[in-house]
Chain A
Amino acid sequence: GENVEQHPSTLSVQEGDSAVIKCTYSDSASNYFPWYKQELGKRPQLIIDIRSNVGEKKDQRIAVTLNKTAKHFSLHITETQPEDSAVYFCAASNTGTASKLTFGTGTRLQVTL
């Protein structure tokens, strides 16, 4: 089955700096890669996703890049703000066979003033 690894497990940045979280996946057939943000005590929420036919996608201060050859994808957050502090999870699935997501282990992002 699919295996998703995520790094780093914790990340501390100063407000205004950029943050990058990286994930690798094992199944070359995976074609859907979402990112979820989970604030303390809250449910995970989808913030951005990318499909395998696209190399990069942006939405305001967040962007995701995908390298299918290397089987890795990354989340980039620019101009970080305190409200970006949360746990971020990457995930992967092969939508051709099942919509079930395999999640990474999470990155705790702390944005300091």
Chain B
Amino acid sequence: GAGVSQSPSNKVTEKGKDVELRCDPISGHTALYWYRQSLGQGLEFLIYFQGNSAPDKSGLPSDRFSAERTGGSVSTLTIQRTQQEDSAVYLCASSLVARGDYGYTFGSGTRLTVV
């Protein structure tokens, strides 16, 4: 596609429920990243996929968070047993990496509200 697509754009869930957030990167981009942005705050790194390498999970805040990237394309971020502190905008980005193109293209994000 022309850009990075994320779905849903908004998600309201009850505390304790599981949620899945989807990211469809730009076709051909080998790297995919998940970040979290709380209201008025910065960009907190969560997880990063690069080609066929093992993902860098060093930013995941707890074992309730997991992500996968199937077929080197679409990625799903799963949050189990959601807590109120998980409320934030979850941003996905992708980059080409090849030919020295490291710039991120971000999706428009999923706004998660845990009530």
Contact = CB atoms under 8 A, between A and B. Distances in A.
B107 to A, nearest CB: 7
A98 B102 CA distance: 10
Contacts of A46: 103-105
Interface stretch (A14-22, A78-86, A101-109): A101-109
Given A43-B108, A98-B48, A49 B43 contact: no
Contacts of B66: none
Contacts of A103: 35, 42-43, 45
Please tell me the size bucket of the interface on B. Answer: 20 to 34
A36 B104 CA distance: 9
Given A43-B91, A43-B108, A43-B109, A102 B102 contact: no
Interface of A: 1, 32, 34, 36, 42-46, 49, 89, 93, 95, 98-106
Given A99-B48, A103-B45, 12 more contacts: A1-B58, A34-B104, A43-B107, A44-B106, A45-B106, A46-B104, A93-B102, A95-B102, A98-B50, A98-B56, A101-B33, A106-B42
